[in-house]
Structure 1
Amino acid sequence: MAERKEGLSANEAWKAIIEKYHVLEEVEKNGYFLIKASQIKEFREPRLMAKWDSTDSLPEVLRKNRINILPDSRSSYVLGDFILYQKIPELDEPVTRMKQVELPDYETIDINNISSEANAINVLIISGILDDFLETSGNVSTFNGRMGTGCFDFEVDTYRKIKRKISVNNAQCEIDGGFENEASVVIMEAKNVVHEDFHVRQLYYPYRLWRSRVKKPIRLVFSVYSNMIYRLFEYRFATPEDYSSIELVQAKNYSLQDTKISRQNLLEVRRNTAVKTDDNMEGTKIPFIQANSMDRVISLLENMYENPMTTQQIAELMDFDLRQSDYYFNAGRYLGLFEKTADDGQKVVSLTALGNRIFRLNYKKRQLKLVELILEHRIFADFFDVMMETGEVPDKKEIADEMRALHVCNEGQVARRASSVAGWLKWIGNLMKL
């Protein structure tokens, strides 16, 4: 333990591990590298080093070298160029087409403040959403929590296009929700934070565990609850012994409130919004946006309500690295939603008074207020007008040219930040059918 250095970040610790144990050379030679938790602990606690639920959270040194990690027992892991993550489809369905669900009148449920994954699952069941999605009634919660996986082998794809065999000996998995109905057993992974992808292990290890225990077919559901909308995805493994054979079976979105936002609603917001005469952010303390997903800005707003966080805590919650954490904090500042304040001697990010007011609005009012805050900025107001006329989001070249004309950021940042402008415009268009 003498080599352990206090205060190392995950990225620094993994750099040190890779160097000490010649991980890259071993992976190149053998296709994988087995590492014990005790070896990781020389540099940092294993629980902080081995659980990366989306690629956003991966330490840069692992991401750069295309190295991913899987637990193969309770005290060891396997490193390799494994392909472990599944992209979550974008929310392309106009919100107006989603099925709206009415909740029974329970005093203990506030649909404006479903703040945990456990609460989201409760509402999913009470509302009948899960029954509707699976087209099977009588889904009863029968298991959840941490459990051992048992022993099994599987194959997984790699970036070198060579399948690797992994042997698991009673690793640990955690199941958010387990249900049974007359026809099947259902395993659910639930999130209340928006990510771009997810670690397939979260479904695969529980699947292999319960496949050995039950005779009924197993159905796998991935649920994302954010901004008062449930997004449900059903997956299956075409070949049970192949981790990489995951397939999307179906996807469906549900809302808990009225989501009907019309073209007229958006045009009215545009008419009533005073556009800033000088939107030149260059040289100011608030940088121009570099955060592509408005859904993730909203997800962060929801999670910070009455819960100020450090940028490190934001990074852990959202599966960001610290740089992305700053990008999304600054995106919230750009709209007047987030601020940094001092709390017990450290800087924390919290909601502004405006951010708190927006959180408490119902779905429709919240979205329209966010549109207003976006359209206060000249570049978005101008392109909104174009979108309303053409029915299409402008391409990134048009956006980049306008950014240069308005001097919203320096030349080296234009291309990357044009993607963010396009992402926010697409979010506005998706509130209704353009």
Structure 2
Amino acid sequence: MSLIDEKWEILFEKHNIEHEIKKNGLFYITADQIREVKEPRLMTKFDTRESLPAVFGRKIAILPVTRGKYVLGEFDLYQDFPEMVSDIKQMKGAKIPDYYETIDINDIRSEANAINIMSIAGILEDFLGEPHMVQTVSGRMSSGSFGFYVSHSKSGDYQTKSYITVENSQVEIDGGFENPNVFSVMEGKNVVHSNFLIRQLYYPVRLWNGKINKQIRPVFLVYSNNIFRLLEYEFMDINDYNSLNLVQEKNYSLEDIEITWEDLQDIWKKTRIKPEPEVTFIQADSFPKVISLAEHLAEEPMIAAEIAELFGFKERQSDYYFNAGRYLGLMEKRNGEEGVKAHITSAGRRLLKMRYKERQLEYVRLILEHRIFYELFETILKGGKAPDKKTIAAKMREMRVCGESLVERRASSVRGWLYWIMALVNS
């Protein structure tokens, strides 16, 4: 259990929060009350469902309503991202003009840097179909006053709503871009998550909807593996927090992105199977998250709790994704003055310096060095489709890669990685 979990348990017990929510539907708590156990900023930052404290259960969530007050309730605050693997085929190329000598496209580290490069490359203009988009706002600002309906966590066949009023809560905008026709509010991340907090788009949209007359087009940017993933949303009812609808999604790269079946077949033929490492067999369904973790470890080593905070994981999941990196030889643990931390290996650091196409094929090679993936990928090459979970589980039992009680769960990870390889093909 994390320190944040422990502190929220103290608050739930002290203020009888769960009982109050069941009785009244909502519970308001002040920043000063939270500060009695820990800094409110750290206690209220939950960008994904998985990052919510254990005591919240699967239903309770929290929203800021003023600069010094929050509301808790059984709210449905998060939106799932579409699975990325199915969209890589739609990736488009983009270019940085040659005269920019200060830009290294292989060294885009921060969310702000990714947004800046995206703008320079004309990616947002292409995505929105709008010319001459210029960044006009960013940073922290006051929300102003507005009210909205938010859905409760789904229960049975119906869903109730609560009405929430916001008064000058703090809003942070990663980037606001404008031309004569539209204003685009952008939230940027340089880490791969499965879902996001709708508030990160909704509060900025409500702020600017009350100030300007132009159409507002909210966009979520995820930058990882040298891919700019843009998702445009709209709120079908501006007064309904949960009326979010995905308008379009596109992926962009500044490098050569053409990978063919012939490329994958060539890698498969040249790969030499290695003995299985003495590492826990994979239980990490999302290979893009394995890549994202490697990228962040290349910046600095992390303990399990830091990985959990970055990805919105529970600490157990941090181990799953770290062990997946160990399985491929990309990550390792080292003892230091601050204890045991996860590090990128020298092989992982070399891989991350490769160009996009070369790097993806190297990931494929590292996966196929393991016999189970090598043989299952052979069935893909012969049949043109991924084997089902039953076939994968049978192969896992045959090779005894993990205990029987773990086979079904870890078969999902194997299938996820195979799908990721297949989705690399874009021609």
Task: Report if aligned partners of 2:259, 2:426 keep a CA contact under 8 Å in 1.
Answer: no
Alignment correspondent of 1:413: 406
Task: Report if aligned partners of 1:383, 1:394 keep a CA contact under 8 Å in 2.
Answer: yes
- The equivalent position to 1:168 in structure 2, one of 166, 189, 195, is 166
Matched, 1:186 2:196: no
Alignment correspondent of 2:139: 145
CA distance in 1, matches of 2:54, 2:233: 29
Specify the code of the residue in structure 1 equivalent to 2:304.
T
Task: Report if aligned partners of 1:94, 1:433 keep a CA contact under 8 Å in 2.
Answer: no
CA distance in 2, matches of 1:433, 1:365: 15
Alignment correspondent of 2:310: 317
Secondary structure in structure 2 of the residue aligned to 1:214:
coil
CA distance in 1, matches of 2:407, 2:265: 28
Alignment correspondent of 1:129: 123
Task: Report if aligned partners of 1:340, 1:347 keep a CA contact under 8 Å in 2.
Answer: yes
In the superposition, relative to structure 1, how do residues 330 and 92 fare at CA in structure 2: closer, same or farther (>3 Å)?
Answer: closer
- Bigger drift between 127-136 and 18-27 goes to 18-27
Residue deviations 1:84-136, cap 9 Å, x none?
A: 00111112446354211121122211111211111101111110110001111
Alignment correspondent of 2:255: 257
Task: Report if aligned partners of 2:48, 2:312 keep a CA contact under 8 Å in 1.
Answer: yes
Task: Report if aligned partners of 1:8, 1:44 keep a CA contact under 8 Å in 2.
Answer: no
CA distance in 2, matches of 1:93, 1:419: 16
Secondary structure in structure 2 of the residue aligned to 1:243:
coil
In the superposition, relative to structure 1, how do residues 190 and 47 fare at CA in structure 2: closer, same or farther (>3 Å)?
Answer: same
Specify the code of the residue in structure 2 equivalent to 1:195.
H
Alignment correspondent of 2:363: 370
Task: Report if aligned partners of 1:152, 1:168 keep a CA contact under 8 Å in 2.
Answer: yes
Deviating 4+ runs (over 6 angstroms):
none
Task: Report if aligned partners of 1:96, 1:261 keep a CA contact under 8 Å in 2.
Answer: no
Task: Report if aligned partners of 1:58, 1:321 keep a CA contact under 8 Å in 2.
Answer: no
Residue deviations 1:242-270, cap 9 Å, x none?
A: 10111111111111111111111111111
Alignment correspondent of 2:377: 384
Secondary structure in structure 1 of the residue aligned to 2:242:
helix
Specify the code of the residue in structure 1 equivalent to 2:46.
W
CA distance in 2, matches of 1:40, 1:356: 41
Identity of aligned residues (%): 51
- The equivalent position to 2:106 in structure 1, one of 95, 101, 112, is 112
Secondary structure in structure 2 of the residue aligned to 1:146:
strand
Alignment correspondent of 1:246: 244
Alignment correspondent of 2:334: 341
Alignment correspondent of 1:230: 228
Alignment correspondent of 2:324: 331
CA distance in 2, matches of 1:345, 1:219: 45
CA distance in 1, matches of 2:260, 2:357: 10
In the superposition, relative to structure 1, how do residues 122 and 204 fare at CA in structure 2: closer, same or farther (>3 Å)?
Answer: same
Task: Report if aligned partners of 2:85, 2:419 keep a CA contact under 8 Å in 1.
Answer: no
The CA deviation at 1:433 is 5.3
Task: Report if aligned partners of 1:96, 1:259 keep a CA contact under 8 Å in 2.
Answer: no
- Bigger drift between 174-183 and 405-414 goes to 405-414
Alpha-carbon RMSD across the aligned residues, in angstroms, is 1.6
Specify the code of the residue in structure 2 equivalent to 1:411.
E
Task: Report if aligned partners of 1:94, 1:431 keep a CA contact under 8 Å in 2.
Answer: no
CA distance in 2, matches of 1:217, 1:14: 40
CA distance in 1, matches of 2:357, 2:223: 17
- Bigger drift between 314-323 and 91-100 goes to 91-100
Secondary structure in structure 1 of the residue aligned to 2:66:
coil
Secondary structure in structure 1 of the residue aligned to 2:332:
strand
Residue deviations 1:304-350, cap 9 Å, x none?
A: 22422222222222222211111111110000000112333422211
Alignment correspondent of 2:73: 80
Alignment correspondent of 1:32: 26
The count of residues paired between Structure 1 and Structure 2 equals: 422
Residue deviations 1:334-371, cap 9 Å, x none?
A: 00000112333422211111001001000111111111
Matched, 1:22 2:16: yes
- The equivalent position to 1:294 in structure 2, one of 263, 283, 287, is 287
Secondary structure in structure 2 of the residue aligned to 1:72:
strand
User: Under a length normalisation based on structure 2, what TM-score does the superposition of the two structures give?
Assistant: 0.95
CA distance in 1, matches of 2:106, 2:167: 43
CA distance in 1, matches of 2:328, 2:20: 48
Secondary structure in structure 2 of the residue aligned to 1:305:
helix
Specify the code of the residue in structure 1 equivalent to 2:186.
M
Task: Report if aligned partners of 1:403, 1:414 keep a CA contact under 8 Å in 2.
Answer: yes
Secondary structure in structure 1 of the residue aligned to 2:32:
helix
The CA deviation at 1:289 is 0.7
The CA deviation at 1:19 is 2.1
Task: Report if aligned partners of 2:87, 2:250 keep a CA contact under 8 Å in 1.
Answer: no
Alignment correspondent of 2:209: 211
Residue deviations 1:51-85, cap 9 Å, x none?
A: 111112222232x3411110111111111110000
Matched, 1:68 2:61: yes
- Bigger drift between 132-141 and 411-420 goes to 411-420
CA distance in 1, matches of 2:135, 2:113: 14
Specify the code of the residue in structure 1 equivalent to 2:253.
S
Residue deviations 1:391-429, cap 9 Å, x none?
A: 211111211121122111112211211111111010000
Task: Report if aligned partners of 1:94, 1:432 keep a CA contact under 8 Å in 2.
Answer: no
Matched, 1:12 2:6: yes
- Bigger drift between 78-87 and 39-48 goes to 39-48
The CA deviation at 1:8 is 6.4
Specify the code of the residue in structure 1 equivalent to 2:130.
T
The CA deviation at 1:41 is 2.1
Structure 2 regions of 5+ residues with no counterpart? none
Secondary structure in structure 1 of the residue aligned to 2:252:
strand
Alignment correspondent of 1:95: 88
